[in-house]
Amino acid sequence: MRKTYSILLLVGALFLNACNSKKQDSEDNDSSIVQNLYFGQKPPGLTPEIFAPGIISLNGRYEHGISFSPDLEELYFGANYEDQDPSIYFSKLEDKKWTSPKKVNFTKGKKVGEMHPFVSPNGTMIHFAAHDSFTSPHHESSVKTWYVKRSENSWSDARELDSPINNDLVFYSNEAKNGDIFYTNLSKRKMYYAPKINDKFPKVHEVGIEFGFHGFISPSQDYLVVNGQNREDDQRKDSEIYVYFKKKDGTWSKPMNLGNAVNSDFDETCPSITPDGNYLFFGRYNEESGLSNFYWVDTEVIENLRPKE
């Protein structure tokens, strides 16, 4: 009887040890995945930090418009050197390591410049802006919204979006979780949106905010971040990040400046929110030659401004 009891104790101990080992392996694996997200960068707090310096944010180059896939394992961003047309770059997390960023060239030469990529909330599409020569004539004379669709491990041929969205000159398209597209209309210098109806975007509407460029809708559509000229000091001409909160009646609040914790004496532009809702990304033009780098900060800076109901 004692011998049987001892065997049962031994079996039980081995079983518990195996379970604990599996649990530890799982925890170690989860920890490894978390550490590798966002290029292994230490997450910022309420003070913006430059994102992945020397890897994504490079001295001597403009960086503008950044988007992660929903699983945070793919990154797309726009960048260009002075006197060059912008391009979209791509990097992917493989075997716990990020691949070296490379140009994607979605339009395969149909357009000279590509910028402002946005990966849809379901990860099946990338919206981006494409245009002819960036310098002469200026890209504003041709910029439109294009897209590609995911096809297994690659992307489809790029197409210009068939929608009234492109009846004007537009860029910086991004999508809410329900599929609605928000974008900047360059022709009218206003923010617009197009509801998704049967996988199409047949109508466009003004967002109805006081001002703002490069508007980015939060995943749940409860707030909108934009950049615009400083409105609090008439002597300042720099661009800053503002937030609008959606009210219960569907209208938008007054614009709220994110304050000195985020904005600086340099231009801040192209705000975006990560798919997990945790971080705000933007470009800051703080290099000596007036070029921009990516910065990121905890979205608590936005939540701290949310009106109390």
Cβ(143)–Cβ(129) under 8 Å?
Answer: yes
Alpha helices by DSSP H, listed for 97-160, are: none
C-alpha 180/C-alpha 298 separation (Å) is 25
Predicted pLDDT of residue 125: 97
Per DSSP bridges, beta strands 159-160 and 170-175 are: unpaired
Predicted pLDDT of residue 32: 37
Structurally, the chain folds into a number of domains equal to 1
Residue 59 lies in a domain: yes
Residue 42 lies in a domain: yes
Residue 23 lies in a domain: no
DSSP string, 244-275: EEB-TTS-B---EE--TTT--SS-EEEEEE-T
Predicted pLDDT of residue 140: 54
Residue 87 lies in a domain: yes
Instruction: Collapse the DSSP code of 141 into the 3-class scheme (helix H, G, I; strand E, B; otherwise coil) and give the result.
Output: helix
Predicted pLDDT of residue 142: 84
The C-alpha torsion from 210 through 215 and 217 to 222, rounded to 10°, is: -20
Residue ranges in the chain whose pLDDT is less than 50: 1-34, 136-138
Predicted pLDDT of residue 139: 53
Residue 243 lies in a domain: yes
Alpha helices by DSSP H, listed for the chain, are: 2-36, 300-303
- What tens digit of pLDDT does each residue of 230-272 get? 888 877 889 999 999 999 999 999 999 999 989 999 999 999 9
| CATH at 236 | 2.120.10.30
pTM above 0.85, yes or no: yes
Residue 203 lies in a domain: yes
C-alpha 183/C-alpha 123 separation (Å) is 19
C-alpha 190/C-alpha 185 separation (Å) is 5
Residue 8 lies in a domain: no
Predicted pLDDT of residue 133: 67
The C-alpha torsion from 275 through 281 and 201 to 190, rounded to 10°, is: 150
Residue 27 lies in a domain: no
Domain holding 174, by residue range, is 32-304
